[in-house]
Amino acid sequence: MNVNVGFIGLGIMGKPMALNLIRGGYPLRVYGRRVESMEPLTAAGAQACASPAEVARNADLIFIMVSDTQDVEQVILGPEGVISGARPGCTVVDMSTISPAATRSLAAQLTARGVEMLDAPVSGGETEAVNGALSIMVGGKPEVFTLVKPLFERLGKNIVYIGGNGTGQLAKACNQILVTLSIEGVAEAFTFARKNGVDPGRVREALLGGFAGNKSLEVQGKRMLDHDFRPGFKVRLHQKDLRIIMETAHQMGLALPGSALVAQNMNALMGSGEGDLDSSALVNVIERLNETYITAPLHKG
Amino acid sequence: MNVNVGFIGLGIMGKPMALNLIRGGYPLRVYGRRVESMEPLTAAGAQACASPAEVARNADLIFIMVSDTQDVEQVILGPEGVISGARPGCTVVDMSTISPAATRSLAAQLTARGVEMLDAPVSGGETEAVNGALSIMVGGKPEVFTLVKPLFERLGKNIVYIGGNGTGQLAKACNQILVTLSIEGVAEAFTFARKNGVDPGRVREALLGGFAGNKSLEVQGKRMLDHDFRPGFKVRLHQKDLRIIMETAHQMGLALPGSALVAQNMNALMGSGEGDLDSSALVNVIERLNETYITAPLHKG
């Protein structure tokens, strides 16, 4: 199929995803807010555009990968936005992680112009983006999903259709609830071990093979042990995802006590100027709370 | 090596573990509080004893698998306890999940009589006990661990030496902190999904293959979706483990905010008369809190 594809948002995640589409044989028209962000893409054969509207002008599919709800709203509805360039019959595929309610509203506004929308947020970081190994959770019409699926297969491995518009974002929110509480668990377990004179690294090894083993213990746990908080997935993005979850919970009248607690810890990290660290820096909050530092040397009793 | 082995505590976990030792070629002397609990073992060739002291009398190794701290204290120190029968040079291997501080105290009292002790709590349930596939976390002297290791290999697959007496219990506590917060995460994610009109089963499938996937989502998540709370691992044992963790935290002056929150939810389950359900029934607390039931049918909007 000869399909014209646009890609908007060329940051840590968007850039390797766009490159994977080019490698997959889809010549792209791209737009990034920072002009220099477009250079690696034009070097790979993409055509740079001056605005989201210009990307949309001749596109059948327009991918968006930006940071937050208002960024997506700006890209779609703002001046020189996608909606002012998009032709009826084309599809907007938003792969950002944003508000499910805002997603439903955007989908309704696009549908009114004859434009389809999928929400397709991803799980996985830069490494998975580079390797085309993201998990992708998709909301929207099933026939539109079927149309876009070959392109998703260039970007990810675990591609799951959930339901109508916004349900991809809801599944991603569930993903973040699980990850959030897992990281809190690792941070509390390691601090508990260290306070009791046990090497947290030994505990990590002991538990990785068992029922309690999970990716957070493996990946974020390793970062905690090394106090290596180069991102990875930044605290400010994790805090943003938790804001979306807690806003949605607020709107629905839903209590999520565990998620709310960890959201407070993420707030504390932001307030300590640690927003650009990897979100495994959550352990800093538990360590400081207890004045117990997991990397401090253990003295034999 | 011709080694005389005793086994005390023949419940859901102890019985299959003792049977695996017999199958491994270790003829056992056994004791269970309920006389009938010894029958499957004597049928398999074990010799029934009238008390822990009698089990200990000629034993080189004495395994204990009971429920709680005071049960182990009773078995070791009580009237007709292990300590009154054990010979100097023998080893007590406590595989129960109990207090790390009490473990250190018991080890000291046994050492004063020339008796060694290992704490070797396990992760995994009845299925893993039956299959000899438990994870075993061991505290005590390394040379004693080496001695007992061939028998551990009859009981488990992931066998890790942690450090001195009590450190096996500390590692197990870390294990339970991780599992506890994972189960809370699954319960909150499923309730979030259902409240927003998304099938939690679909969310589970979508997330199992990705970064957020873990054993709690797989195993406890499935039980939650089916509201099938036949144990498995009972709420009252999970509450007991959390009590040990929070007692230890109290004694150390250590704040574990996430673990403390879930401990309260486990308390609520106990107060609702649900102590004998599987601990995945934690979802009941989140569902009732929100009057949102994940098994209720979804109506299309």
| The pair of three-digit structure tokens given for residue B37, joined into one six-digit string | 């609990």
Rg of the Cα atoms in chain B: 21
Task: For residue A207, give the nearest of B178, B202, B248 by CB distance.
Answer: B178
Residue type, B99: S
For range A228-232, the mean pLDDT: 94
Q: Which of A206, A219, A292 sits opposite B162 (nearest CB)?
A: A206
Contacts (Cβ under 8 Å, ≥6 apart) of B143: none
Query: Which residues from A are below 8 Å from B211, CB to CB?
Result: 123-124, 135, 175, 179, 215, 219
- Exposed (0-12), middle (13-18) or buried (19+): which is B172, by Cβ within 10 Å? buried
Is A300 annotated in the active site? no
* Ranges in chain B, pLDDT < 70: 1, 300-301
Q: What is the pLDDT of residue B222?
A: 98
Identified catalytic residue from B15, B157, B172, B234 = B172
Q: Which residues in chain B are closer than 8 Å to A157, comparing Cβ atoms?
A: 209
What mean pLDDT comes out for the span A182-189?
Answer: 98
Write out the H or E segment, with its range, that includes residue A163: strand A156-163
Instruction: State mean pLDDT over A2-29.
Output: 96
Q: What is the number of helices (H) and of strands (E) in chain B?
A: 15, 9
Q: Give the chain A residue whose CA is nearest to the CA of B253.
A: A290
d(CA A64, CA A93): 6
Give φ, ψ of B277 to 5 degrees.
-80, 165
Residue B37 DSSP symbol: G
Which amino acid appears at position B137 of this protein?
A: M
Look up residue A178 and give its amino acid. Answer: L
Separation of alpha carbons A190 and A187, rounded Å: 5
**Closest residue of chain B to A283, computed from CA coordinates:** B256
Amino acid in position B120: A
Taking each continuous run of H as one helix and of E as one strand, the counts in chain A are: 15, 9
pLDDT confidence of residue A301: 45
With a cut of 60, say whether residue A300 has pLDDT above it. Answer: no
Q: Which residue has 């010979």 as its token pair?
A: B87
Chain B residues with CB inside 8 Å of A119's CB?
none
* Residue B93 identity (one-letter amino acid): V
| Domains present along chain A, CATH in parentheses | 5-165 (3.40.50.720), 171-290 (1.10.1040.10)
**Taking Cα atoms as reference points, which of A132, A6, A109 lies closest to residue A65?**
A6
Average the pLDDT over A269-283 and give the result.
98
For residues B107 and B140, give the distance between their C-alpha atoms in angstroms, rounded to a whole number.
Answer: 9
CA distance B74 to chain A (A): 25
User: Measured between CA atoms, how close is A199 to chain B, in angstroms?
Assistant: 8
Collapsing DSSP states into helix, strand and coil, what is residue B196?
coil
Please count the CA atoms within 13 angstroms of the CA of A194 that sit on its side-chain side: 25
C-alpha to C-alpha distance for A245 and B192, rounded to whole angstroms: 9
> 10 Å Cβ neighbour count for A270?
15
Beta strands, E only, chain B: 5-8, 28-31, 47-48, 61-64, 91-94, 116-119, 122-123, 134-139, 156-163
Q: Please give, rounded to a whole number of angstroms, the shortest distance from the CA of A79 to a CA of chain B.
A: 32
Q: What is the pLDDT of residue B301?
A: 46
- Split at pLDDT 50, 70, 90, the class of A225 is very high
Q: Which DSSP letter does residue B297 get? A: P
Nearest to A153 by CA among A168, A171, A167, A138: A138
Residue type, B232: G
Query: How far is it, in rounded angstroms, from Cα A49 to Cα A30?
Result: 6
d(CA B217, CA B137): 23
| Residue A210: closest C-alpha in chain B | B135
User: From the CB of residue B271, how many other CB atoms can be counted at a distance below 10 Å?
Assistant: 9
Distance CA B182, CA A181 (A): 6
Burial degree of A60 (CB within 10 A; 0-12, 13-18, 19+): middle
- Give the model's pLDDT for residue B229: 98
> Do you find a cis peptide bond into B232, omega within 30 degrees of 0?
yes
Cα end-to-end span (Å), chain B: 70
Contacts of B167 in chain A (CB under 8 A): 197-198
Other C-beta atoms lying within 10 Å of the C-beta of residue B63: 29
- Per-residue pLDDT of A38-79, as tens digits, reads 999 999 999 999 999 999 998 999 999 999 999 999 999 999
Q: How far apart are CA A150 and CA A90, in angstroms?
A: 16
| CB-neighbour burial class of residue A43 (10 A; exposed 0-12, middle 13-18, buried 19+) | exposed
Residues whose CB falls within 8 Å of the CB of residue B203, separated by 6 or more in sequence, listed in order: A162, A170, A171, A174, B189, B190, B193
Tell me: the pLDDT tens digits for A232-269? 899 999 999 999 999 999 999 999 999 999 999 999 99
At A126-155, the pLDDT tens digits run 999 999 999 999 999 999 999 999 999 999
Selecting among A15, A149, A157, A172, the annotated active-site residue is A172
Which two three-digit tokens encode residue A94? 């938003």
Helix (H, G, I), strand (E, B), or coil: what is residue A270?
helix
Q: Do B256 and A209 touch (CB under 8 A)?
A: no
Distance from CA of A19 to the nearest CA of B (A): 22
**A25: cis peptide before it, omega within 30°?**
no
Q: How far apart are CA B258 and CA B283, in angstroms?
A: 16
- Out of B163, B174, B212, the one facing A179 most closely (by C-beta) is B212
Q: At what angle do helices A167-195 and A100-112 cross, to 10 degrees?
A: 160
How many C-beta atoms lie closer than 10 Å to residue B261's C-beta? Answer: 18
Mean of pLDDT over chain A: 96
The interface pTM score, or ipTM, of the predicted complex is 0.95
